């Protein structure tokens, strides 16, 4: 790990100003992501600003929304009774993340800011366009079992690793930030970027802009939500594919639906076409199959990850079956 300067502050404006004034600097909360990448020499910030002292750890219902502060710990959010009762997909996604020890340390904001990465990114012995723009992407023709089948580019096919972000996308969550230009609120789709020709630019946050929290509307959709994660082993593993689904029914007819997917794209993946295949229709196995086929239209599998195209459709069918979609 290369030497770095360290600053701890209890004022958000001070933290933002310090990072904004120094290129190559970074915020840190739980450190479960940043410190590992620094040890791997994938990242080498010259200044690390500790935001644990900021008053951003609330978990509360207010004005028809669930508000979660950026420094709230993943374990605390997953165990909160309001989250478990009113936002089950969120609780399930958090409990499927990492290990209990990491969930007790990792923050909500830090989880959302995880780097989109693969093993080539973590190994400085390989080129990587995310780590070193223009150097190449060995995953395109290399070991790409874990990589994207949707949304990738000829410059990068790594997948976003966050379970939390997938659940939040299905729950219509918005991210609150504070930056050098003030406060703003972003939808999840506006937070993350697809790789295109600039995969090193992973979000639309400006340098020095800090996630301060997440807000989720309290809706019938949120109360009727599920999260399914398929992975190679039960503990401490990124998703091979994952599905977050929130839907409401009148009898057996889908009146509204939100779907989001992980493990298949460089950002939490939303498919309006899959939702439209379900909305207004009876929730049957046939409808679930139509939604799955709509989801994978345009998929570009590689040598080792073509199985994901079928697997994510099966995962979607399994989730919808929990709502009664297999009958």
Average pLDDT over the chain reads 96
CA distance 158 to 150: 10
Alpha helices in the chain (DSSP H): 12-20, 34-39, 74-79, 81-86, 88-95, 100-103, 108-112, 119-122, 163-170, 188-191, 220-223, 272-276, 285-295, 307-322
Mean pLDDT to the nearest integer, 268-291: 98
CA distance 45 to 178: 20
Mean pLDDT to the nearest integer, 159-180: 98
pLDDT of residue 235: 74
pLDDT of residue 325: 58
Tell me the DSSP string of 53-116: TSS---EEEETTEEEEETTSBHHHHHH-HHHHHH-HHHHHHHHTSS-HHHHTT-BHHHHHTPPP
- Identify which of 151, 119, 152 has the alpha carbon closest to the alpha carbon of residue 138: 119
CA distance 142 to 258: 34
Domain residues for 259? 220-322
The reply to whether 311 falls in a domain is yes
Position 107 pLDDT exceeds 70: yes
The backbone region for 155, taken as left when phi is positive above 0, alpha when psi lies in -120 to 50, beta otherwise, is: alpha
The reply to whether 256 falls in a domain is yes
The reply to whether 137 falls in a domain is no
pLDDT of residue 264: 98
CA distance 80 to 69: 13
The reply to whether 242 falls in a domain is yes
The reply to whether 97 falls in a domain is no
193-241, pLDDT tens digit by residue?
999 999 999 999 999 999 999 999 999 999 999 999 999 987 778 999 9
The reply to whether 203 falls in a domain is no
Percent of the chain topping pLDDT 70: 99
Mean pLDDT to the nearest integer, 124-131: 96
- For residue 297, the domain's CATH number is 3.30.390.50
The reply to whether 13 falls in a domain is no
Position 326 pLDDT exceeds 80: no
How many structural domains is the chain composed of? 1
Position 327 pLDDT exceeds 70: no
pLDDT of residue 83: 98
Q: What is the pTM of this model?
A: 0.96
Residue 174 banded pLDDT, cuts 50, 70, 90 = very high
The reply to whether 105 falls in a domain is no
pLDDT of residue 324: 84
Percent of the chain topping pLDDT 90: 96
pLDDT of residue 1: 87
């Amino acid at each position: 790990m290369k030497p770095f300067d360290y600053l701890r502050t209890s004022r958000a404006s001070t933290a933002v100003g310090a990072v904004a004034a120094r290129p190559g600097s970074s915020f840190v909360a739980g450190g479960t992501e940043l410190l590992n990448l620094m040890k791997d020499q994938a990242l080498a910030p010259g200044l690390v600003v500790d935001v644990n002292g900021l008053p951003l750890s609330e978990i509360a219902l207010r004005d028809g929304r669930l508000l979660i502060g950026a420094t709230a710990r993943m374990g605390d959010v997953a165990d909160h009774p309001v989250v478990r009762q009113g936002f089950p997909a969120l609780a399930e996604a958090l409990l499927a993340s990492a290990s209990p020890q990491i969930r007790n340390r990792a923050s909500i904001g830090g989880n959302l800011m995880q780097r989109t990465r693969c093993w080539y990114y973590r190994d400085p012995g390989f080129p990587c366009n995310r780590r070193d723009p223009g150097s190449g992407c060995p995953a395109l023709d290399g070991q790409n079992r874990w990589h994207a089948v949707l949304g990738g580019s000829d410059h990068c096919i790594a997948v976003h690793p966050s379970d939390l972000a997938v659940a939040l996308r299905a729950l219509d969550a918005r991210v609150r930030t504070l930056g050098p230009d003030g406060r703003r609120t972003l939808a999840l789709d506006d937070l993350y970027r697809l790789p295109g020709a600039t995969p090193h630019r992973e979000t639309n946050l400006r340098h020095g802009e800090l996630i301060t929290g997440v807000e989720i509307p309290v809706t019938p959709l949120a109360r009727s939500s599920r999260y399914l994660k398929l992975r190679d082993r039960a503990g401490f593993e990124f998703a091979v594919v994952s599905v977050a689904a929130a839907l409401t029914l009148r009898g057996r007819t889908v009146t509204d639906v939100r779907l989001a997917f992980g493990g298949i794209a460089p950002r939490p993946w939303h498919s309006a076409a899959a939702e439209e295949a379900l909305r207004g229709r009876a929730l049957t196995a046939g409808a679930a199959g139509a939604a799955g086929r709509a989801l994978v239209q345009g998929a570009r599998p590689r040598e080792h990850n073509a199985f994901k195209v079928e697997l994510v459709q099966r995962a979607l069918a399994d989730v919808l079956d929990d709502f009664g979609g297999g009958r």
